[in-house]
Structure 1
Amino acid sequence: MLIINTLIPIFCLIIVGYFFKKIQFPDESFWKHLDKFNYFVLFPSLLFYKLSTANIKNILTFDFILIGLVAIATTSIFLIILNKFMRVENSSFTSIYQGAIRFNVYVFIALSSTLLSNESFVMGMLLMAFVTPFINILCISIFSLYIPKNKISIVSFLKSIMKNPLIVSCVLGVSINISGFSLPTILENALSIVSSASLPMGLLSIGVGLHLSALKDTKMLLFISSFSKLILLPIIMYILCLLFEINKDITMLMILFAAMPTGSASYVLARQLGGDLKLISSIISIQVVLSIFTISFVLWIFGI
């Protein structure tokens, strides 16, 4: 019941965002600026605030990070092998692939902050900090392999990682925490206020970004990407947690992370590197809708 009570308010905000889009209030330019402000200011503030003030010393193992990386790599191998038989158009496969391994940070933080213990929540943010650059490496590699015109230098890629505000905020937050330095009370209170605006704004923006009218086409491709992300990846994650003998709390964190719908960063990269924009837009939208049911299902089926 706790899962349902947590999911409903989150997806209600997403629906409200979609409603705002349909009535065109505010206008489209507002949401573009809000997305940018949230990505560069509000959400990094949230990550920095939580990680700099958390009790990281209580974390006794970092196996969960390895599990996350291995699960994503395993899903990647499955998709590449599957594509050998299906022979999907290259631009479409890059969209299927992104849809199957990326995750929506706003939904993940909103759910994990309510469903998980404080320690597991902090572990979730650390997991994001390590998994995000790994996913970016994989996605850009797939684009380079399947759409050869994309020649991305190592230097430009490293710069993009170093400039990623989410990664930077996580690194700074953990560094402050490990150093033993305490934030001034005024700054800490200010960060608490600013960061509290990030999740509702992010969830509204997800709703604004939904494109439900495009779901009629490419049903098989939508199924492959969504099944891989919402069902297969959680199963792989659960099996790895069993193999590593991970406790129940961390297992719940890992399955929750794996069950997230894909993130809007998929569309941004597809637009930059020549992916199938219509398909990735449909994948993002359908996964948000399906995840209302699949998140509850996978947590229930694994007895979490």
Structure 2
Amino acid sequence: MEVLALIFPVFAVIVTGYIFARLEVLPQSIAGALTQFVYYTAIPAILFVIIAKQEIKDLANWSFIGVFTLPVVVVFFLMFFGARILRGLSTGNAVMLGMVSVASNTGIIALPLLHELFGEKTVVLAALANVVMVGLILVLIVILETIHSEDEGGLGATLKHLRTAVLNPIVLSTVLGIAYAITPLSLPKLVVDYLDLVASALTPCALFAVGMSIKVSDVVKTGPTIVLTSTIKLIVLPILVLLCANLAGLDPLTATAAVIASAVPTGKTMFILSKQYHEYEEVTAETVSATTAVSVITLVGWLIVLSRIFPGSFTLQ
């Protein structure tokens, strides 16, 4: 009951967003506006104010990075080579199939979820997971651009996407927070109070926007490929991360954060890139929609499982 009491408010906000969208209490455009606010304002505020107060040794969590990254890389290559060899997909399509199976929405979903359930320490871990995801996106852009290098204007598109990935607000606020943490300075109370106030809007806005974006119809019409990618993203990948966390001997809270960061749905950045390079657009779009909708159920399942494995991590805030 304690675990359900902990997670109920979080998922109740998601369901509320879904109901409001379906009943047209609010226009669908609100979801986009809320997401933009969270992405450009609330997330950078919470990342900077929390990371800036950390000790440098706490930011260099290589065990977490390794445990989160290794399964992602392994699953990506298995999906890529499986798509190439068994299904005969083009290199570009196979790359996208691999990416939609591992690319987590660490910023908009994992970060507010972890912060609400487990507090400040997991915000740092979510930021590290996001840096890993950005690194994978940069590699993806390079691969896709190499494939399409003969296209006119390819270099400009590449530079634009690379710049967007590197200079996105989540990465910038993480880097600035680390830079400030290196200095002996402490943040002025006025600044902390301001950033805390902005950051307080993160969880309700992000989760409400997620709920508004869910479309059950997209799940109902999914084909076998979407079922495969969604199952790997929401179930198989987190299982592998959990196994790696146990082998690496991560502490319960860090292990829990790694699993949740891998169990969130596929990020919408994948859809943007698939549209840009015209690679597996329909599968990518449907995977993003399906994983977002189904994750409301699977994340609850994962939280219950993790509460049994790591009960010490699950205490009411």
- Whether the TM-score (by the shorter chain) exceeds 0.5 is yes
Of 40-49 and 2-11, more deviation after overlay is shown by: 2-11
AA aligned opposite 2:223: K
Report deviation, 1:292: 3.1
AA aligned opposite 2:176: L
Paired residues for 1:92-171 under 5 Å: 93=94, 96-104=97-105, 105-116=107-118, 118-128=120-130, 130-141=131-142, 143-144=144-145, 151-152=154-155, 155-171=159-175
Paired residues for 1:285-304 under 5 Å: 285-298=289-302, 300=305, 303-304=309-310
Paired residues for 1:158-237 under 5 Å: 158-237=162-241
Report deviation, 1:246: 2.5
The alignment-based identity, stated in percent, is 21
Residues 1:283 and 2:287 aligned together: yes
Of 73-82 and 36-45, more deviation after overlay is shown by: 36-45
Determine the C-alpha separation between the residues in 2 that align with 1:142 and 1:12: 40
Determine the C-alpha separation between the residues in 1 that align with 2:94 and 2:209: 26
In the alignment, is the contact (CA less than 8 A) between 2:50 and 2:123 conserved in 1?
A: no
Gaps of 5+ in 2: 311-317
Residues 124 and 234 of structure 1: CA distance in aligned 2, closer, same or farther (over 3 Å): same
Determine the C-alpha separation between the residues in 2 that align with 1:47 and 1:254: 17
Residues 1:22 and 2:22 aligned together: yes
Q: Could you give the per-residue CA deviations for residues 179-214 of structure 1, whole angstroms, max 9, x where no partner exists?
A: 122121111101100111122112122122223223
Alignment-derived partner of residue 35 in structure 1 = 35
Instruction: Give me the TM-score of the superposition, normalised by structure 1.
Output: 0.85
Report deviation, 1:164: 0.9
Determine the C-alpha separation between the residues in 2 that align with 1:4 and 1:56: 34
Provide the aligned length of Structure 1 versus Structure 2: 303
Of 250-259 and 190-199, more deviation after overlay is shown by: 250-259
Report deviation, 1:117: 5.8
Determine the C-alpha separation between the residues in 2 that align with 1:214 and 1:293: 15
Instruction: Give me the TM-score of the superposition, normalised by structure 2.
Output: 0.82
Q: Could you give the per-residue CA deviations for residues 227-258 of structure 1, whole angstroms, max 9, x where no partner exists?
A: 11112211221232233333333222211211
Gaps of 5+ in 1: none
Of 235-244 and 218-227, more deviation after overlay is shown by: 235-244
Report deviation, 1:115: 3.8
Alignment-derived partner of residue 51 in structure 1 = 51
Report deviation, 1:91: 7.2
In the alignment, is the contact (CA less than 8 A) between 1:94 and 1:146 conserved in 2?
A: no
Of 282-291 and 191-200, more deviation after overlay is shown by: 282-291
In the alignment, is the contact (CA less than 8 A) between 2:219 and 2:293 conserved in 1?
A: no
In the alignment, is the contact (CA less than 8 A) between 2:241 and 2:262 conserved in 1?
A: yes
